[in-house]
Amino acid sequence: MLEIVFVSMTLIISWILSFIFIPKGAIGATVIIMMIPAILGCIIKIIKYKSITAVFKPLLHHISIKGIMFSFVFPIIIIGLCSILSLITGVGSIDNYDGSISQILIIIVMSVPFSIVTLGEEYGWRGYLLVEWEKIYGLKKSNILVGIVWILYHLPTLYMMNLSYGISEALIFTIVQSICIFCVNFSYTYLYTLSKNVLLASMMHSVWNNINTFILGDTYRNEATGLINGNVKVINGEGIFGMVFLIISAFIFHKVLFSKTK
């Protein structure tokens, strides 16, 4: 019951804030929206377990070396594949590369402290909701449900940001990005099985956001400001190329996670 309250309140509040700020171009408001799942997750944990210490449990689980490696490697692989495909097909071109990888390394390292922002989302999804739903429905069904909630959470923001393309294209790109969100959810569930410490999920989220934008441009602002120049809705990790590779990865993780589950 409390999980339904969490989902309902998270969606209502995040949608209201999205409809207030996004049409005004206040993209920075997404940082505030990202905090909502964590705030509500903490409140409901305290209510459910009648203990403040329960709030810190998702942050205190053992962190495995494999989990740390995966949180960095997976985003780099997907974004790397999108980059290679964009160059091979000629859809993208390298216009802003200065011959040094130092900037990329700096972005990766800085993603660690910046993960405090993405923790706002990840605490709610992987620190609270997935944990509680797994107890009720099992991991397989919970993975699907969290993926759907994650899409709904982003839906108004994605659609309103895509409206600059026109209604029909906005619908298409929103569907593409929703598929990306649903599919990448499988990788987060896999990371969850490596370590239930939500800090790893927030770190992978941060690495994804920063590396994706730095190399392939910003889909939220529709700006081809990455190292690879091209249509961000196509080449980006949250665009058409990203959708292709994330669908493939979702099938792989589904097989790894649930091949023995009926």
Residue range 29-71, pLDDT digits in tens = 788 999 999 999 999 999 999 999 999 999 999 999 999 999 9
pLDDT band at 251 (very low <50, low <70, confident <90, very high): very high
- CA proximity to 219, closest of 131, 154, 142: 154
pLDDT of residue 82: 97
Contact 143, 257 (CB under 8 A): yes
Residue 262 has pLDDT above 60, yes or no: no
With 0-12 / 13-18 / 19 or more C-beta atoms within 10 angstroms meaning exposed / middle / buried, residue 28 is exposed
**For the residues 117-141, what does the mean pLDDT come to?**
96
Distances (CA, A) of 55 to 45, 103, 198: 6, 36, 12
pLDDT of residue 98: 64
- CA proximity to 117, closest of 34, 200, 237: 34
**DSSP for 193-239, written as a single string:** HH---HHHHHHHHHHHHHHHHHHH-BTTTTB--SSEES-HHHHSTTS
Residue 258 has pLDDT above 60, yes or no: yes
pLDDT of residue 221: 72
Alpha helices in the chain (DSSP H): 2-21, 29-49, 65-89, 102-122, 130-137, 139-162, 167-194, 198-216, 232-235, 240-258
Residue range 69-103, pLDDT digits in tens = 999 999 999 999 999 999 999 999 887 666 567 88
pLDDT of residue 94: 86
Residue 220 dihedral angles phi and psi, to the nearest 5°: -65, -40
Residue range 205-237, pLDDT digits in tens = 999 999 999 999 988 777 778 889 999 999 999
pLDDT of residue 138: 96
Query: Could you identify the residue written with the tokens 């390292």?
Result: 109
